[in-house]
Every structure is written in C-alpha cells, then in structure tokens.
Amino acid sequence: MTIHHILRLSFIALFVVTAFFCVYFIIKKHRSKKGPKLLTQEKLAETTHGKMTEIAISDKSMFNIWPYISKLKMAKILSNKIKESELVHKVYRNSTEDFEHILLSTEKENHFVVIVADRNKKKTIGYFIHDLNGLYA
C-alpha cells in the first residue's frame, strides 16, 4: 500500500467516526427534548386565586400561546384537524390577574385543553385537560 492509499483510508475512517458522533448526539438531543408539561390538580389550583373571569379574546390582552400550541400538536395532545381560527374557545384570568387559562377546543364536546400562562413571567406553565362543566361553570 502506498502512502496515498493510507491517507485516503484514514480520511474515510475519520469521516465515518465523525458521522457516527454527529448521529449519536443528534439522537441524544432529540430524546432529551422536553414536551409540554401536564399540570397536576394542585398546581392548577395554585393558579386559580379568587374568581376566574372571562376576558375577551384579543391579541393584545392574551398571552402568545402559538409556539406552545405547536408543541402540543407535535406531542399529539391537540388535533391538527381543528382550524386555528376555531382553536381558542375562551380565555379566563384569575382575580389577581397573574394567570390566564386559555381553553383550546378538542374534538370531544365540552372537553378542553387548558393552557395556563403566567402573565408576570410571560411564559406558559403547562397544560391541563379538563371538562368545561366541572371547572368553570
């Protein structure tokens, strides 16, 4: 074997090893991604201080939930069949105006995915699946 062949084989081996490392780290990163957080009853109760009042759905008053909705759809918690214009059913805010509960329509009647958003920190806390008749009625 000439030096030319040895250099060529070493570069091919180096490429293969580098490719394996890249694939390994991509798979590791993909597995460690956190999905949307399902809230417990206790954590949900902490966000409902006082009376929950319904607020009008508008872009200025409501927390930006669309990136979180994309995560919910990727995790197959929300259906892709529902149009985005019909997705937000109602928005509730607690009496201290710290938290918003955004009700998203599902395929089942009176069942909603509730996104809880912290208005002070401007981020979502998590989601909760609940029947509208039991929580806000």
| Nearest-angstrom CA–CA distance, 52 and 73 | 26
With left for phi above 0 and alpha for psi between -120 and 50, is residue 121 left, alpha or beta? alpha
| Nearest-angstrom CA–CA distance, 79 and 36 | 15
Residue 60, pLDDT > 80, answer no
**Per-residue tokens: 103:** 């009700």
Residue 58, pLDDT > 80, answer no
In this prediction, residue 136 carries a pLDDT of: 52
In this prediction, residue 122 carries a pLDDT of: 86
Residue 42, pLDDT > 70, answer yes
Who's near 37: CB < 8 A, 6+ residues apart?
A: 125, 126, 127
In this prediction, residue 61 carries a pLDDT of: 59
**Per-residue tokens: 100:** 């918003």
In this prediction, residue 98 carries a pLDDT of: 87
Residues 70-118: tens digit of each pLDDT: 888 888 888 888 887 788 888 888 888 888 888 898 888 888 899 999 8
**Per-residue tokens: 48:** 């409902």
Average model confidence (pLDDT) across the chain: 84
Residue 23, pLDDT > 90, answer yes
Residue 22, pLDDT > 90, answer yes
pTM: 0.69
Query: To which residue do tokens 């995790």 refer?
Result: 75
Average pLDDT on 5-17 reads 91
